[in-house]
Amino acid sequence: MAKAHDSWKVLPHRPIEVVADNLWRVEGKLETMPLKRVMTIARRSDGQLVVHNAIALDDESMAKIDAWGPVAWLVVPNGYHRLDARVFKDRYPQARVLCPAGATKKVAEVVAVDGNYADFPVDRDVAFETLDGVGEQEGVMIVRSPDGVTLVFNDAVFNMPDVKGLTGWILRNITQSTGGPRISRIVKLFVVKDRRRFREHLLRLADTPALRRMIVSHDRMVRDDAAAALRAAAATI
């Protein structure tokens, strides 16, 4: 696990992608791992912004975020996705920091935690659920937009393509992280406590009315038929 940044450090990232009227997404790189990381920003019905899995961006991109609305919520989606949590809190001291209840101890090592997903105020457009069967270590952000619903996962679901070389072989055969929507071996070993309950929760989410997209914190977004992708991932548990 990389040491959390204590100053604003911009790693290579792509431009902000407008996914829906109230939903933005940014892909970035990591220094020490061949993984893409994804920040998702949702806007509540009251105009407040929710930053899920914060990534430090360049000045132009941060200006766009600030123009879109006030950053009121910083969501650290598990105890390992803390890299830019502290610097975001420094930049937005008024924002409340939330994480899954089971991740509080690890997240609090780098930034003060104000609550868990149960403490997120009810909103028409943005909601959180803690996933069953994972010891409260992971959850899902549910974003309702005019064109449908988006489910935003963290490490609970991966959607990485296969890559070449030794690294690709390790990711495909050892960590079992690549090859489309799936549950990685790392998550199965260290996060999932009850596979049946976890699988059933994913399948319930796949039945979400008007479900359209699925965003994960590593790599590709599922842009259409997220229900089928989520069912495929559940089948890999």
Q: CA geometry: angle at 217 spanning 27 and 103, to 5°?
A: 135
pLDDT digits (tens, 9 = 90+) for 175-189: 988 888 999 999 999
Structural domain that includes position 226: 17-234
Number of domains in the chain: 1
Residue 10 lies in a domain: no
pLDDT digits (tens, 9 = 90+) for 15-32: 999 999 999 999 999 987
Residue 127 lies in a domain: yes
Q: How confident is the model at residue 109 (pLDDT cuts 50, 70, 90)?
A: very high
What pLDDT score was predicted for residue 167?
Answer: 82
pLDDT digits (tens, 9 = 90+) for 210-237: 999 999 999 899 999 999 999 999 999 9
What pLDDT score was predicted for residue 152?
Answer: 98
What pLDDT score was predicted for residue 34?
Answer: 75
Residue 202 lies in a domain: yes
What pLDDT score was predicted for residue 86?
Answer: 98
What pLDDT score was predicted for residue 33?
Answer: 77
Q: How confident is the model at residue 38 (pLDDT cuts 50, 70, 90)?
A: very high
What pLDDT score was predicted for residue 163?
Answer: 78
Q: What stretch of H or E contains 236?
A: none
Residue 103 lies in a domain: yes
Residue 45 lies in a domain: yes
- In 79-170, beta strands by DSSP E: 96-98, 126-130, 139-145, 148-153, 158-160
Q: At residue 75, does pLDDT exceed 70?
A: yes
Q: How confident is the model at residue 44 (pLDDT cuts 50, 70, 90)?
A: very high
Residue 158 lies in a domain: yes
Residue 6 lies in a domain: no
Q: At residue 120, does pLDDT exceed 90?
A: yes
At 200, which CATH number?
3.60.15.10
Of the chain, the percentage scoring pLDDT greater than 70 comes to 100
Q: How confident is the model at residue 1 (pLDDT cuts 50, 70, 90)?
A: low
What pLDDT score was predicted for residue 212?
Answer: 97
Tell me the pTM: 0.95
Residue 184 lies in a domain: yes
